Structure 1
Amino acid sequence: MTQASTAPQIVDWSAAAQIAGRLAAPGPQAPRDELDSLVSGLRTAAGDAVGHVLETTRMLPAPREGLAAWDDGGPLSPVVIVDRATWARANTQSMAAMTDGIGAVVAEVSKGATSPGAQMAGAAEIGAVLALLSGRVLGQFDPYSGPGRLLLVAPNVLQAEQALRVPVRDFRLWVCLHEQTHALQFAAAPWLAGHLGDRTQGLIAGMARTSAELAKARFDKKVVAIGRNVLATLRGEGGTIMDGMLTHEQKDELADITAVMALLEGHADVMMDAVGPRVVPSVRRIRARFERRRDGEGRNTFDVVLQKLLGMEAKLAQYRDGAVFVRAVERTVGRDGLNAVWAAPENLPTAREIADARAWVRRVHG
C-alpha cells in the first residue's frame, strides 16, 4: 500500500475504502473446493494468457529497470485474485493516486482546504459507487499501484460463467486474454500511465475550479443545472451526469481522454478474440453471449437506470468504438501499422480520429 499523501485531500480515502469494502455485496456462494478451483484456474489462465497475447498483438514490453531486455518467461505484472470488497478498496487507492494534488487546487479556489465533513461526504459517495461497480467488473489492470497489477474478481467471473453457461476454462482464459492485453499495453508503452494520469489530473483540476463557481451560484440555479443533467443522462443525451457541468474546453479534453480509453478497451477486445478457437475453442459462443449480456439481456429497469447514472453505457460504447477503430486501422496498415499507436503520446488517436481511422492513418503513416 502506498504511503498516504500529506497534501490537502478532497476525499477521506481511508473512509472511502472502509465504506466501499463494507457495502460491497459478497457475490455468489460456492463450496470451498469449487472456490479453490476457481482461484487456481484464474491464476493458471492469467499465466497462460501472456504468451498468446504477445504472439497475437506482436507487441513486446519495453525493457524493465535494470534489465537490458524483457524476460520472456516472466509475468507482465503481478496477478491478484480478489473478492468484490478487495477490488472496491483497491480502487480507492488508485483514485487517491489519480487525484493527488487536486485538494491543493480546491483549497486555492475556495480559499481553504476541503472540510472534514465534505471529505466524508465524498468518501460516502465514492465508496457507495465503487461498492455497486464491484459486482460488475470481471478484471482490471491497475497501472497506478506501484509497477501495476492485474486484479481478477473471482465471484464475478464465477457469476458470469454460470449465467452465460459457457466452458469455464475457455471463459477464464478469455477474460485473462483481455486483461493481459491491458497489462501489455502499459508495459509496451511505459509512458502511457503517466500520460493518462497527467491529462486526467489536469481535467479534474479544471473541473474543481468549475465546480467552485457552481458552488457560489444561487441554490435554485444549482438545482436546475443538476436536475437538467440528470434528466439528460437518463434520456441518453450524455455520457454521465458530469458532462453537462463541463466547459467546452473540458469537454474537448474529456473527449480525447475517452478516445484513448476507447483505444485501450477496443484493442483488448479485438485481441482477445483474435487469439482464436485454436486456443479458446468456444470463443465465438462466448463472445455472442457476452455481447447479449452487455446489451442488457435480462436487466431490470432499476439496473438500466443505474447504469445510465454511473456512465456505464458510455463505458460499453468505448469497447465498440475502439474495436471499430482497431479493425479499420488493421485493414489499412496491418497489425504492425496499428502498433505505431504505442510508440509515443502524439501517436494516440484523438476523439475525431477514433471515429475516423483513416484520419489517424494519414496523420501517423502519411
Structure 2
Amino acid sequence: MTPSSSLTLGTAVDWRFAATVGQRLARPGPASSDYTRRQAIEELTSAAAKAEPPVREVTGLVTDGAVPPARIVDRSQWIGAAAESMRVMTNGSETPRGFLTGRITGAQTGAVLAFVSSGILGQYDPFARSQEATKDGSLLLVYPNVIAVERQLRVEPSDFRLWVCLHEVTHRVQFTANPWLSDYMSEALGLLTQDVGEDVGQVAARLAEFVRNRGAAESDGGASGIIGLVRAVQSEPQREALDQLLVLGTLLEGHADHVMDAVGPVVVPSVAIIRRRFDERRHRKQPPLQRVLRALLGLDAKLSQYTRGKAFVDHVVGRVGMQRFNTVWSGPDTLPLPSEIENPQRWIDRVL
C-alpha cells in the first residue's frame, strides 16, 4: 500500500476471494467416521449451552436475553465466517476498489486464514450477525480441530469439549455483559487500518530507528520482535490503538483461561489433566518453518497473552475477589495499562 493511496485495509482486500482461496488451501480435518463427527457436533452444541451457567456464576457477569446456540463448523466454514467478520471489522466493502490489488491481498489473507484454520478450536466473534436479527455476535466451535487435539492429548473427549466451551463462552459473556467492548475494539481497529497519509520518508525513518535500537538491544527474534517491527512503521495514534488491542486481548484471554480452571472438577472432572497436557502442547517445540509462520502471524504473541493475562487475573482475583475485579469492565479507563499487566498491584492501586 502506498502512502498516497486512499485505500484502507478493509477496502483493499477482496474478502470473498480471500475466503475462496483460504477454503481451497485449508488442510482436511482428521479422519473421522460419520458417527464421530455427529457425536462431536452434538456434544459441542450441548456443552456450549451447559457452560453458560457456571461461567456466569464464576464471573459474576450478567447477560440479558436468550442465548443463541453455538455454531459448530468445519475449517472451511470457519474461514468463510472469519473473512466476513474481518470485512466488517475493517469497514470493507463487498467490491473493493482496485481489482488486482484486492485479489492479491485477498490471496495473501486467504493463505493466512487457511494456516490458522487448522489450529483454532473456537472463537467468539462479537462482530458477526447471528440468526436473530436483533443480536450481534456468534460463538463458533471448530469441531475437526477439537477432535484432533483431544486425540493428541489423549484426554476424555466429553471433558475436553466442555473445557473448550468454558473458554469460548466466557468470551461471549464478556462481550454481551459489557457491550462497550465491541465499540472500543472497532474504534481501535479503525485507527489501525486507516491510511494516515504519511510519506515514505517518515515511515522509513521510524523503521531505521527501530533497526538501530534492535541491533543494540537483546533480541528474542520472536513475537515481541514482530510486534516491534509493526509498531515501527505505525503513526503514534496507530501505536496507541495497537497497545489498546494488545492489552484488551491479554485481559480477555487471561480472564477466559482463569474461568476455565476456576469452574473446577465438579463440572470438568479431569480438568487438572487437561490443563497440564494442554499447556505442554502449547509450549512444545515447533519445526523451524512453523515457528517462523507463527511469529509472523502473531500466534506466539497470542500464547503470551494467555500466560500473562491469566497471571494478571489470578493475582487480582486472589487479592480482592472476583466482584471487585469486575471493576475492570466499567469502561476504557479501568482497563489495565500495559505496565499494569506485568504488575497487577499497580492496577489495584490505581483503580481500586
**1:227 and 1:13, CA in 2 relative to 1: closer, same or farther beyond 3 A?**
farther
Q: Secondary structure of 2:72's match?
A: strand
**TM-score in terms of structure 2 length:** 0.86
**What CA distance in whole angstroms lies between the structure 2 residues aligned with 1:229 and 1:162?**
45
Partner in structure 2 of residue 310 of structure 1: 297
**1:335 and 1:33, CA in 2 relative to 1: closer, same or farther beyond 3 A?**
same
**1:321 and 1:94, CA in 2 relative to 1: closer, same or farther beyond 3 A?**
same
**1:32 and 1:290, CA in 2 relative to 1: closer, same or farther beyond 3 A?**
same
- What is the root-mean-square deviation of aligned Cα atoms in Å? 3.0
**What CA distance in whole angstroms lies between the structure 2 residues aligned with 1:143 and 1:228?**
40
Partner in structure 2 of residue 269 of structure 1: 257
1:212-259, CA deviations, whole angstroms, 9 ceiling, x for partnerless residues? 6349989xx999999999997845551445344224553343122200
**1:15 and 1:292, CA in 2 relative to 1: closer, same or farther beyond 3 A?**
same
**What CA distance in whole angstroms lies between the structure 2 residues aligned with 1:242 and 1:84?**
28
Partner in structure 2 of residue 338 of structure 1: 325
Equivalent pair of 2:126/2:182 in contact (CA under 8 Å) = yes
Which of 267, 274, 281 aligns to 2:269? It is 281
Query: Mapping of 1:184-333 within 5 angstroms?
Result: 184-205=173-194, 208-209=195-196, 213-214=199-200, 234=221, 237-240=224-227, 242-297=230-285, 299-333=286-320
Q: Secondary structure of 1:140's match?
A: strand
Partner in structure 1 of residue 164 of structure 2: 175
Partner in structure 2 of residue 3 of structure 1: none
* Pair 1:40-2:42 in alignment: yes
**1:235 and 1:194, CA in 2 relative to 1: closer, same or farther beyond 3 A?**
closer
Partner in structure 1 of residue 76 of structure 2: 85
Aligned partner letter, 2:296: L
Partner in structure 2 of residue 96 of structure 1: 87
Which of 8, 11, 23 aligns to 1:9? It is 11
Equivalent pair of 1:45/1:172 in contact (CA under 8 Å) = yes
Q: Secondary structure of 1:144's match?
A: strand
**TM-score in terms of structure 1 length:** 0.83
Q: Secondary structure of 1:141's match?
A: strand
**1:284 and 1:129, CA in 2 relative to 1: closer, same or farther beyond 3 A?**
same
Partner in structure 2 of residue 139 of structure 1: 122
Partner in structure 1 of residue 102 of structure 2: 119
Equivalent pair of 1:262/1:318 in contact (CA under 8 Å) = yes
Equivalent pair of 2:125/2:137 in contact (CA under 8 Å) = yes
**What CA distance in whole angstroms lies between the structure 1 residues aligned with 2:223 and 2:140?**
31
Q: How big is the shift at 1:28?
A: 0.5
Aligned partner letter, 1:186: F
Q: Secondary structure of 1:145's match?
A: strand
Which of 50, 57, 60 aligns to 1:58? It is 60
Q: How big is the shift at 1:163?
A: 0.2
Partner in structure 1 of residue 152 of structure 2: 163
Partner in structure 2 of residue 109 of structure 1: none
Q: Secondary structure of 2:112's match?
A: helix
Q: Secondary structure of 2:140's match?
A: strand
**What CA distance in whole angstroms lies between the structure 1 residues aligned with 2:111 and 2:213?**
21
**What CA distance in whole angstroms lies between the structure 1 residues aligned with 2:59 and 2:240?**
30
**What CA distance in whole angstroms lies between the structure 2 residues aligned with 1:131 and 1:8?**
19
**What CA distance in whole angstroms lies between the structure 1 residues aligned with 2:171 and 2:302?**
16
Equivalent pair of 2:73/2:142 in contact (CA under 8 Å) = yes
Aligned partner letter, 1:269: D
Q: Secondary structure of 1:151's match?
A: strand
Worse-matched range after superposition: 253-262 or 224-233? 224-233
**What CA distance in whole angstroms lies between the structure 1 residues aligned with 2:248 and 2:206?**
32
**What CA distance in whole angstroms lies between the structure 2 residues aligned with 1:263 and 1:8?**
26
Equivalent pair of 1:102/1:204 in contact (CA under 8 Å) = no
Q: Secondary structure of 1:150's match?
A: strand
Equivalent pair of 1:328/1:357 in contact (CA under 8 Å) = yes
**What CA distance in whole angstroms lies between the structure 2 residues aligned with 1:134 and 1:157?**
12
Q: How big is the shift at 1:92?
A: 0.8
Identity of aligned residues (%): 39
Aligned partner letter, 1:153: V
**What CA distance in whole angstroms lies between the structure 1 residues aligned with 2:190 and 2:170?**
25
